[in-house]
Amino acid sequence: MDLEHLFSTEGPFAKAFPGYKLRQAQLEMAQAVKAAIDEKGQLIAEAGTGTGKTFAYLVPAILGGGKVIVSTGTKTLQDQLFQRDIPLVRDVLRVPVTVALLKGRANYVCHYHLERARHEGRFLRKEDIADLHKVERYAKITQSGDKAGCTGVPEDAPIWPHVTSTRDNCLGSDCPNYKDCFVLKARKEAQEADVVVVNHHLFFADVWLRDEGAGELLPACNTVIFDEAHQLPDVASLFFGETVTSGQLIEIARDARSEGLVIAKDFVKLPQAAEALEKSVRDFRLVFKPEPARFPLHQVSELPGFAEALADMLTCLTTLQSLLAAQAERAESLENAARRAHELRETLENWQKGDDEEAVHWIDILSHGFMLHATPLNIARVFQKQLKSNPRAWIFASATLAVNGKFTHYQHELGLWDAQTGTWDSPFDYKKQAVLYVPPNMPDANSPGFTSKVVDQAWPLLKLTHGHAFLLFTSLRAMREAHELVAQRLKDEKLEWPLLLQGQGSRTELLDQFRRSPNAILVASQTFWEGIDVKGEQLSLVVIDKLPFSPPDDPVLAARIEQMNKEGRSAFVEYQIPHAAIALKQGAGRLIRDETDTGILMICDTRLVDKPYGKLLWKSLPPMYRTREPDTVKRFFEAKRNHAPQQDQSPEQTS
């Protein structure tokens, strides 16, 4: 089928959706995607909000034939593609393609672990026991086993790790429930489908790294499409490196104890060794302060008690591995546990050796645990090698990939030097729909009273818009401080507006609450900077406190800066500014999501207008009406609100 006809006002989309309009940018992007598919090439496509990029890549991909993998940055978009967008395109084009949704195994109920959780009965909270019964009932009636379909049990409920499997503790073909496995069923459907929808984490963990089963997807496919592709460098860095977490260590200890009590009751050394490993993990965490932090390995090596706690943890893990190996012949589950313990020990020993020229070794201290990472400093070579392994089309799409119209930064990060590139601007009339306001007389962004001043400047705007606002901060500390200050303001002025704080519920729960609550204010950090879609008056104001530069004490960033500077390059110009520009565009992109939206974007960091590099960030933002005068903001908003047009749009026009 001809793309010009398909997207024309006489084509099938126009007939399917009343009020349909031809969008030239959407057609041009679809043509570029088709060319990349035909040539088995690489395309980097930046399409502004409202372009319709989802249909722009789906139409040529579905018509191109062969197997297609679509990878997204979030489960929300993954579900939207599977449940809404792809069925719509399939129906309009009348093409009989089959579609499968594939998530990571932790998203599917595991019959074996569900049964074991029921028998062990180690739950202390009434809520966990109630959730266990709900999962049991769900497992008997569900076809997919996807935990998202288990109503009444939140996706972050503590019960889920007990009733799902991981790559480490899955028994594979030796599982007594092998034939009924929901993961295997989902993978079988994915292997047989024409279009498979995954997310980036699954793509790299299972598809790219060839986990048993899902690894068969990539060799069979003709086209790979990454939506929300701006997330790929960070995700790829994570999976091309090595990680040991406190959760993995605790899990192997608990699995060893559980299996030992069932299969090797006479071998008392096994539960004792498991208990010792759990204790050593807790003791290692106690070496650090309670609050979360990140440190390079070389920085913590001299910390009092660190070397001893690490050595003790490694010794306990080695002992447990030896005891599991000694009992491995008794059962497949014990052999599997011995293998896992061996792999964890090897990774932990490699991490302990310290940094090399290719990777930085660092520790991420969490509230109740830790993650030990070895992260590669350069993923471009690894990524490019994989891209060239089999000829197929690779499409990288997002609303934020370019910096001031150029893709040099993104191409350098992923090694996409030969890729075709294209930029298609949003069809929204930003100058008429939104105002960008940088308040005058703000203190230095790093000064102690900065967050208080942000709230001072935001308060008149919050009253102007009657709430309906996102307040986005670059740190959790600033977020919490701002929440307290706004709460006090609301109390002082006797305003009963809903005030939501990131962390008080899941992202989905908070977003649902925000959407249905008049006058709501959401105070959040990085979690809400992207992947959030609130249309209409409900979101009328977005406040961003600072330019989103990565913290200079981030171990991976520090190592990359050092490496680039050694090579005679400017890490600030080539790496830090582009990263900040893309992140800022994501945050700013929350405001205008529809052709009829209007609103205010306030960025409180005056470096945006005062510093030479600020001009680059300024130019990267949507072309909103810009001012530094609060009275101008007030007049703009009131004028727009009094004359706001109302119109309905088809799903196609907002995809």
Domain shared by 451 and 559, yes or no: yes
- The tokens for 2 are 């001809």
Q: What CA–CA distances, in Å, run from 341 to 47, 257, 331, 617?
A: 46, 13, 16, 47
**C-beta of residue 281 within 8 angstroms of C-beta of residue 313:** yes
Domain shared by 350 and 217, yes or no: no
Q: What's at 555, amino acid-wise? A: P
pTM tops 0.85: yes
Q: Whole-angstrom Cα distance, residue 301 to residue 280?
A: 17
Q: Whole-angstrom Cα distance, residue 620 to residue 585?
A: 7
Q: What CA–CA distances, in Å, run from 614 to 499, 573, 626?
A: 32, 11, 14
Mean pLDDT in residue range 313-335: 91
Q: Whole-angstrom Cα distance, residue 567 to residue 581?
A: 23
Domain shared by 533 and 640, yes or no: yes
SS3 labels along 116-148: HHHHHCCCCCHHHHHHHHHHHHHHHHCCCCEHH
Name the packing angle between helices 269-286 and 246-263 (round to 10°). Answer: 160
Mean pLDDT in residue range 126-143: 93
Domain shared by 405 and 324, yes or no: no
| pLDDT tens, residue by residue, 469-490 | 999 999 999 999 999 999 999 9
Domain shared by 207 and 144, yes or no: no
| Strands 370-376 and 434-437, bridge-based pairing | unpaired
- pLDDT tier for residue 369 given thresholds of 50, 70 and 90: very high
Of 401, 424, 447, the last residue of a domain is 424
**C-beta of residue 44 within 8 angstroms of C-beta of residue 419:** yes
Q: Whole-angstrom Cα distance, residue 183 to residue 210?
A: 15
Nearest to 130 by CA among 158, 156, 111: 158
CATH number for 620 = 3.40.50.300
Is residue 232 included in any domain, yes or no?
A: no
Is residue 129 included in any domain, yes or no?
A: yes
- Residue 135: is its pLDDT beyond 70? yes
Phi and psi of 654, rounded to 5°? Answer: -120, 5
- pLDDT tier for residue 19 given thresholds of 50, 70 and 90: confident
Of 368, 399, 424, the last residue of a domain is 424
Phi and psi of 121, rounded to 5°? Answer: 55, 45
What percent of the chain lies above the pLDDT cut of 70?
Answer: 96
Domain shared by 527 and 615, yes or no: yes
Q: Give every CB contact of residue 537 below 8 A, 6+ residues apart in sequence.
A: 468, 641, 644
Strand order in the sheet with 625-627: 499-501, 521-524, 469-472, 541-544, 599-603, 434-437, 625-627
**DSSP code string of 340-364:** HHHHHHHHHHHHHH---SSEEEEEE
Phi and psi of 40, rounded to 5°? Answer: 50, 45
- Residue 399: is its pLDDT beyond 90? yes
Domain shared by 553 and 607, yes or no: yes
Domain shared by 256 and 297, yes or no: yes
Q: Is the dihedral of CA 492, 497, 498, 502 positive or negative?
A: negative
pLDDT at res. 89:
95
Nearest to 239 by CA among 292, 201, 277, 288: 201
pLDDT at res. 355:
65
| pLDDT tens, residue by residue, 407-458 | 999 999 999 999 999 999 999 999 999 999 999 989 999 999 999 999 999 9
Q: Whole-angstrom Cα distance, residue 454 to residue 443?
A: 9
Domain shared by 164 and 298, yes or no: no
- The tokens for 226 are 């990454």
Q: Whole-angstrom Cα distance, residue 653 to residue 650?
A: 5
DSSP state of 648: -
Domain that holds residue 525: 430-654
pLDDT at res. 160:
93
- pLDDT tier for residue 154 given thresholds of 50, 70 and 90: confident
Q: How many domains does the chain have?
A: 4
- pLDDT tier for residue 655 given thresholds of 50, 70 and 90: very low
| Strands 195-199 and 541-544, bridge-based pairing | unpaired
pLDDT at res. 643:
66
Is residue 355 included in any domain, yes or no?
A: yes
Is residue 234 included in any domain, yes or no?
A: no
| pLDDT tens, residue by residue, 171-183 | 888 889 999 999 9
Is residue 188 included in any domain, yes or no?
A: no
pLDDT at res. 648:
40
| pLDDT tens, residue by residue, 31-88 | 999 999 999 999 999 999 999 999 999 999 999 989 999 999 887 788 889 999 999 9
Is residue 282 included in any domain, yes or no?
A: yes
Q: What CA–CA distances, in Å, run from 423 to 41, 400, 615?
A: 17, 10, 20
- pLDDT tier for residue 210 given thresholds of 50, 70 and 90: low
